[in-house]
A and B are shown apart, each in its own frame.
Chain A
């Protein structure tokens, strides 16, 4: 993946562009952007992750490596966990690292930047893992992109609610530990269960 640098940069550029569309589509008030900026960044992260999913298994399917993984004696679920985490480092992690920069352009106060950063760090791996189930289900289809969105976006709602909800809480001066725990719990669940679903989906669709 790292030989192909464009696949590394595309999700990041996409992420920033979506986030930058919002100021143009909203009334030019500094305060408004400051208030909704966190939510905008979350939505952009969700969309950028989702868009990167289609390519997750695509080249492996095309060149036959996926078949070879299917019949390798080592656990397919474990391989898929590794694959999803590798995919995350190239998408979700990079988005997270760049998010403070976007926050600055939205004039988001610094205590909220930290909350957003932690939230994204905990939330984006779950986005990738859950999304990978959709990617695995649609890998053999020629036009899987829209289908992935239909399948996966409803499943992303809890992560979005807790992640963006934290920012509202912080803005009102409230504690956010419970939402952080919720995100961490979702991550723990995704890490333990999603690999089996991904492996199962691949065994179903590849034939």
Chain B
């Protein structure tokens, strides 16, 4: 067998195993702590380098250091949305139970990232712009994103039947992902006070490596935090969804006997 076949078989096997709630639960019991540990290590390193090693900004002084939280959470707020909508599409097309769980469990985490990005942004904005809030493009887009998350969560809790709720939520997140670029573009056109793109600008990052490195650590750290929080929340959801099935009952009985 060539290596590609082996990798492919491994991936498709993992996909199918993760598609079953029970298998997911078993696997995630091992992966979740790993994600948590990676998050802790990466973010501690990132925080250390960000606070003590990176030089102060020649214009903004030390206040720019909030960037090491603000930028990664802002990235994550979009990343989570994309994951959520992709999972929703997978669930609707291939009728995969676990994909819906990903969608539903991602929404509150994404909303939290978005709220955090807004909060850190306005804390940062006070010393730099002299005000907590300006109606500029990125802040406004982020605020709209927060409301999209709220809408998706509201839809899920509005339905009594869980399956209907899951599908409706997935559909709305897919609709949202089509409209998000349009919202972003229109808001961009509407106003732009915010500083321009600095990291992914043409001709390489406009940031010294001492700043870029902690940023990268923090970004990956938060990525693992998302994985950690998502898996924890998914474990909960799976147990709740499957509470009538045999394996969950067996699990509960075992726990009771041990205690």
Residues of A within 8 A of B (CB): 130, 133, 137-138, 141, 144, 147, 150-151, 153-155, 157-158, 161-162, 165, 182, 186, 189, 193, 197, 200-201, 204-205, 207
Contact = CB atoms under 8 A, between A and B. Distances in A.
Contact of A150 (B150, B178, B179, B185): B150
Contacts of B168: 137, 201, 204-205
B154 A147 contact: yes
19 contacts: A133-B172, A141-B159, A147-B154, A151-B151, A154-B151, A154-B183, A155-B175, A157-B183, A158-B183, A158-B186, A161-B186, A162-B189, A165-B189, A193-B178, A197-B171, A197-B175, A201-B168, A201-B171, A204-B164
Report, as a range, how many residues of chain B touch the other chain. 20 to 34
B147 A150 contact: yes
Contacts of B202: none
Interface of B: 92, 144, 147-148, 150-151, 154-155, 158-159, 161, 164, 167-168, 171-172, 174-176, 178-179, 182-183, 185-187, 189-190
Contact of A205 (B92, B164, B175, B182): B164
B190 A161 contact: yes
A156 to B, nearest CB: 10
B150 A186 contact: no
Contacts of A162: 186, 189
Contacts of B161: 207
A61 B10 CA distance: 47
Nearest to B176: A155
Contacts of B144: 154, 157
B69 to A, nearest CB: 25
Nearest to B92: A200
Contacts of A201: 168, 171
A161 B175 contact: no
**Which of A153, A155, A200: most chain B Cβ within 10 A?**
A155
Contacts of B189: 161-162, 165
Contact of B186 (A137, A138, A150, A182): A182
